[in-house]
Homo-oligomer: A and B are copies of this chain.
């Protein structure tokens, strides 16, 4: 295991210090309990959008804190849920008096801790709603999850809900949009290699030099099938077919697409994957109206990719196009 770190115990804090130093115009990092908040939080009268999860998936979530996206993010230890006190402190710190939405990826620890945090906030008079993101079509029930896992649709939910909140939509409407994103979004991932959690000091799973894991989870959890490595076109066909058939997406649909790198795959390959995805969608008469290609929800240095598609209508596209100013996503400002 080779890493640019000092100590597995301090890697998250030291990385967050770097995030703070690099983006102090956009965000502020707090410690004990640890969370990242918009520099100008709380924004009075705006619904506050909060997410969080284990570290090791950067830029998610801290890289999406800023105007037009998240008000706060709670980073746990690597691949470990943040604690309720982090979520409570973050929610209270960015609460602008118009309610708060917790966007929660469906992992058992995250769900439980966000529920507990919401109760603690409610006891103090805050209005908090929560939406569970469970867009990963690969498997039902998994190493850390009951039901489907949360994956790429999380980014879409953070962008759409962040825009809606910025527009002044109320908590009910923002929460409804989050559910809509989750209902309309589907993802599936694959891995060429494992990642290694710093504290573990060894790869999360073993995989042969000629094999790949289809449907892998963002922590390296098992997917649908271990199979021999195939050409990219066939890999994308497998992922895209699973995603497209699940909703299902239909001829004439417009979608927002993401080709997401797992952290260790070069951009050269991710654009090649996008080319394949675009061809597959075109053959089904599905139009990719907007897209992201890059590393957005990663698994440390894992090589591989995931594909996320969300059926889009005018409402979602307009919110998608709204300005956003965060470390990892910015346009229109």
B-binding residues in A (CB < 8 A) = 2-7, 11-12, 14-19, 21-22, 55-56, 58-59, 63, 78, 192-193, 209, 212, 229, 231-233, 235, 263-276, 278, 288, 291, 293, 295, 298, 300-301, 303-305, 330-333
Report yes or no: B268 in contact with A295, Cβ–Cβ below 8 A.
no
**A14 contacts across to B, CB distance below 8 A:** 232, 272, 275-276
C-alpha spacing A303/B265, complex, angstroms:
10
Q: Tell me the nearest residue of chain B to A262, going by C-beta.
A: B266
A127 to chain B, nearest CB (A): 33
- Bound-state CA distance A305–B3 (Å) is 11
The 3 closest A-B pairs by CB, nearest first: A18-B275, A18-B271, A58-B267
- A209 vs B202: C-alpha distance when bound (angstroms): 12
Q: Are A269 and B4 in contact (CB under 8 A)?
A: yes
Q: A274-B22, A331-B330 are in contact. Are A5 and B267 (CB under 8 A)?
A: no
Check B192–A272 contact: CB distance below 8 A. no
Q: Is B305 a contact partner of A265 (Cβ separation < 8 A)?
A: no
Residue picked from A55, A276, A304, most chain B C-beta under 10 Å: A276
Query: A11-B268, A266-B298 known; A275 and B21 CB under 8 Å?
Result: yes
Main secondary structure of the interface of A (DSSP, over half): mixed
Contacts of A193 in B (CB 8 A): 2
Residue pair B264, A300 in contact (C-beta under 8 Å) = no
User: How long is the Cα–Cα vector from A215 to B78 in the complex, in angstroms?
Assistant: 30
Whether A21 contacts B274 in the complex (CB less than 8 A), given A192-B4, A229-B2, A331-B330, comes out as yes
Residues of the B chain whose Cβ atoms lie less than 8 Å from the Cβ of A15: 268-269, 271-272, 275
B268 contacts A56, C-beta separation under 8 Å: yes
Q: Are B291 and A22 in contact (CB under 8 A)?
A: yes
Query: Which chain B residues border A192 with CB–CB below 8 Å?
Result: 2-4
- A16 touches which of B6, B232, B271, B305 (Cβ 8 Å): B271
- A269 contacts which chain B residues (CB < 8 A)? 3-5, 11, 15
Known contacts A21-B278, A274-B21, A275-B15; decide if A267 and B63 are in contact (CB<8 Å).
yes
**Could you tell me the distance between the alpha carbons of A59 and B333 in the complex, rounded to whole angstroms?**
22
Considering the complex, give the chain B residue whose CB is closest to the CB of A56.
B268
**Which B residue sits closest to A304, measured CB to CB?**
B4
**A to B CB contacts below 8 Å, 5 in the list:** A2-B212, A14-B275, A22-B293, A263-B266, A264-B303
Partner of A6 from B3, B233, B266, B301 at Cβ < 8 Å: B233
The CB with the most chain B CB atoms within 10 A, among A2, A16, A276, A332, is that of A2
Kindly state the separation between the CA atoms of A2 and B269 in the bound complex, as whole angstroms: 11
Task: Known A56-B268, A59-B267, A271-B15; judge A303-B301 contact (CB<8 A).
Answer: yes
A18 to B259, CA, bound (A): 11
User: How far apart sit A12 and B21, CA to CA, in the bound complex (Å)?
Assistant: 36
Chain B residue at minimal CB-CB distance from A332: B333
In the docked arrangement, what's the CA distance between A11 and B267, Å? 12
A278 in contact with B233 (CB, 8 Å): no
The docked-state distance in angstroms from the alpha carbon of A330 to that of B330 is: 7
Residue among A4, A19, A55, A288 with most chain B CB within 10 A: A4
A332 surroundings in chain B (CB, below 8 A): 333
